[in-house]
Amino acid sequence: MNAEPQPGRSAWPQALLANTLAVSPLIWAAFMQRAPTAYAAGVQEDGVLEWMTFWGFALAAALFLSRARSESRAGGLPWFTLGLFLFCLLVAMEEISWGQRVFGYRPPTYFLERNYQQELNLHNLIDSSLRKITLKAIMIGYGVVLPIVGLFRRGGTLLERLRIHPPPWVLAPAFLAATIAYEVYPWKYTGELVELMLAMAFLFSALLSLPESRFQLSRSLVTAPLMAALIVFLLGSASGLVTLAAHRAHPGNLEAARSEVEALKLDLLALAGDGDLPTKCGLHKRVYTWVIREETNALYEGRFAALIAQGLPEERADFFIDPWNSPYWVRHRCSSSQERVTIYSFGSNRRRDSEPSELGGDDVGVTIERAR
- Return the domain boundaries, the chain: 9-246, 251-371
Of residues 230, 243, 290, the one with CA closest to residue 95: 243
Cα distance between residue 363 and residue 186, in whole Å: 29
Cα distance between residue 345 and residue 329, in whole Å: 6
Cα distance between residue 48 and residue 244, in whole Å: 11
CB 223 within 8 Å of CB 7: no
Residue 124: the pLDDT is: 66
What SS3 state is found at 333? strand
Residue burial 87-108, b: 16+ Cβ < 10 Å; e: rest: bbbebbbbbbbbebbbebebbe
Q: What is the pLDDT tens value at each position of the chain, 372 positions in all?
A: 444 555 544 567 777 888 999 999 999 999 999 988 788 878 877 788 999 999 999 999 999 999 999 888 888 899 999 999 999 999 999 888 887 767 767 777 766 676 666 667 776 666 778 888 999 999 999 999 999 999 999 998 999 999 999 998 989 999 999 999 999 999 988 999 999 999 999 999 998 877 654 444 444 444 788 889 999 999 999 988 877 666 565 667 889 999 999 999 999 999 988 788 899 999 999 999 999 888 888 889 889 999 998 888 888 998 999 998 889 999 999 988 889 999 999 888 777 888 777 888 889 999 999 887
Of residues 222, 181, 183, 221, the one with CA closest to residue 201: 181
Cα distance between residue 371 and residue 312, in whole Å: 34
Question: Which CA distances in Å does 356 have to 79, 186, 342, 353?
Answer: 48, 21, 9, 10
Residue 212: the pLDDT is: 52
Q: Which helix (H) or strand (E) holds 165?
A: none
Residue 159: the pLDDT is: 93
Apex CA 52: angle with CA 192 and CA 86, to 5°? 85
Q: How many CB atoms lie within 10 A of CB 80?
A: 19
Taken as a whole, the chain contains a residue count of 372
Question: Which CA distances in Å does 23 have to 27, 179, 195?
Answer: 7, 11, 11
Q: How many CB atoms lie within 10 A of CB 157?
A: 14
Cα distance between residue 114 and residue 32, in whole Å: 35
- Which segments of 287-335 are extended strands (E)? 329-334
Of residues 236, 334, 353, the one with CA closest to residue 283: 334
Strand partners, 364: 345
Residue 246: the pLDDT is: 61
Residue 218: the pLDDT is: 44
